[in-house]
Chain A
Amino acid sequence: MNPLELARARPGETCTVTLDGRSVEALPGQTVAAALWAAGVTAWRSTRGAGRPRGVFCGIGVCFDCLVTVNGRANQRACLVPVHPGDVIRTQEGTGRVDD
């Protein structure tokens, strides 16, 4: 049993997004975080100070641990942002800004 079977989900076609250039299959409607979890990825950011890996913590938009760069825009909360076909997702280092 998995959650999709349990809820008898019939998602439409899977779509493809990229994570640091690598193709990842995603289900439309899922958030970036859910799509990455489904692909077995649990970390997509490193912290500003110690460079430690982080991913989802609160899951509801409160903690900002899940920040990620989506289509060139840094600091998006992966647990809130839905995936779209062709999204270019990049792991985020530090503040996520090139000028930092």
Chain B
Amino acid sequence: MTERMRLAVVGAGPAGLAGALAAAARGVDVTLIDAAGQAGGQFYRQPAPALNARRPEALHHQWRTWQRLSDGLARHLAAGRITHLTEHHVWCVRRESDAFRVHALLGPAQEEGVTVRADAVLLATGGYERVLPFPGWTLPGVVTAGGAQAMLKGGLVLPGRRIVVAGTGPLLLPVAAGLATAGAEVAALVESAGPAALLRRTPELAAQPGKLAEGAWYAGQLVRHRVRTLARHTVVEAHGTDRLTAVTVAALDRAGRIRPGSARRIPCDTLAVGHGMLPHTDLAETLGCTLNGTDVDVDAEQRTDVPGVWAAGETTGIGGAALALAEGHIAGRSAAARLHGTVPDPRTWAAADRARTRLRAFFAALDTVYAPPAGWAERIPDDTVVCRCEEVTAGEVRTAGPLGAADLRTAKLLTRAGMGWCQGRMCAPAVAGLTGCPLTPGRRPFARPVPLGVLANVPDDETPTR
């Protein structure tokens, strides 16, 4: 009897789920591995089961799609075609000859190691939010926009009562709408992009009526909850001593400079802020996959340039849940065909391919609209903390350039910015902006902090766990 081929899928968000379902349906033995306790990823994050939410869809958009995915997952789990390892934090994926070892840490404690062996790997690790620094951004009460959304969807809590949502990007709309629907008073939605920029991009945007309708739906929710939107405005400062009490926002002119005299103070206890997203690429990097800027580079089949490694969703470039689904589907079909030793026929995934092309164009256009306002880096005062972990200020980071730092690694060695717990995930965009170094991923040896005991116990030739 021939053994079934094994695919390890890291990440159970839209991309990983679509990939796992597509591969499992085509005779591949799939292990779906995710750090979270439940499938869904960021977009379809579910309330903790013990909260017994009977109407979780109240916090979600496109619930039908989620139902399709979760029903599919349940069927494959029951049939034994997919094994779902929850609360497994993958810290490293190693390739050896033609097999892979996926190393994970178990549960919240993350002190015990587990290894999964597979013939191929699909990386669907998603992304995280980028926040550019401003005075007061380290105050308790200032959270990432997606983080506020994640805590709401997963824990059914609000960070405070009166919330300002600010920054730039398409994520701010669902976040403001979600918080308002859940009972928060959203004092303002502050978006640095202006409507004129959106209008200039009309052809690319109009090619996605579904996405536009989604935006309009959220906008309607904001009107219903009387949320005031301040377009072409930015947060200048967050105020408070031990926690947030107010923010100052100001209007931007067409060149992205602050309009003198336009500053106004908005009292609030929470600021949910974000300036777009960055992909998680650590696992791809340690495997040696080529990156294109900050994104994992993939071909038309979602293959990286490392044989046996596919990537899909935000890890290959930020583009939302629908694009993640299309990419994951293609990756799963391609991996199944390749694992069976056949060449896949792209015509069999023509619909997903068309969606992928359209959505990539749509998000490329959005990216130019939702760019951080010009001059954001120069506006960071010298005494503002930029590296939150090591408490390195903008003034200190600014010394790195003159000292000869031409890349983020050197800037880190010279200033300690990026050396702390988060390994530069939070400060890298700001350090790049302040020093003029290109924004490149951090080359972290591990995707998670690994206890020494686990490292010491990774034998060269361990027994497979499954």
Contact = CB atoms under 8 A, between A and B. Distances in A.
A98 interface: no
A18 interface: no
B157 A34 contact: yes
Interface residue tally on B, bucketed by range: 35 or more
A7 B47 contact: yes
A38 B55 CA distance: 20
B108 A62 contact: no
A91 B357 CA distance: 49
B163 interface: no
Contact of A37 (B42, B109, B157, B425): B157
B35 interface: yes
Contact of B49 (A5, A29, A42): A29
B63 interface: no
A48 interface: yes
The binding surface of chain B is classed by DSSP as loop
Contacts of A48: 391
Contacts of A1: 181-183
A85 B152 CA distance: 22
A65 B426 CA distance: 10
B99 interface: no
Contact of B388 (A4, A5, A61, A63): A63
A27 B52 CA distance: 11
Interface stretch (B141-149, B252-260, B371-379): B141-149
Nearest to A64: B421
A37 B53 contact: no
B159 A9 contact: no
B134 to A, nearest CB: 14
Contacts, number: 164
B150 interface: yes
Contacts of A56: 143, 147, 151, 159
The binding surface of chain A is classed by DSSP as loop
Contact of A34 (B42, B151, B182): B151
- From A28, A35, A62, A79, residue with most partner B Cβ within 10 Å: A62
Nearest to B111: A73
Given A3-B59, A59-B151, A27 B50 contact: yes
A47 to B, nearest CB: 6
B391 A80 contact: no
A2 B182 contact: yes
Contact of B157 (A30, A54, A61, A76): A30
A34 to B, nearest CB: 3
Contact of B183 (A6, A34, A50): A6
Contacts of A76: 108-109
Contacts of A35: 155
Contacts of A50: 391
13 contacts: A1-B182, A6-B58, A6-B59, A8-B55, A9-B53, A12-B52, A31-B48, A31-B155, A63-B425, A64-B389, A64-B421, A67-B421, A80-B35
Given A52-B138, A79-B151, 19 more contacts: A3-B152, A6-B55, A6-B58, A7-B55, A8-B54, A9-B53, A11-B51, A12-B50, A29-B49, A29-B50, A52-B391, A54-B138, A58-B144, A61-B35, A62-B128, A63-B388, A63-B422, A63-B425, A76-B108
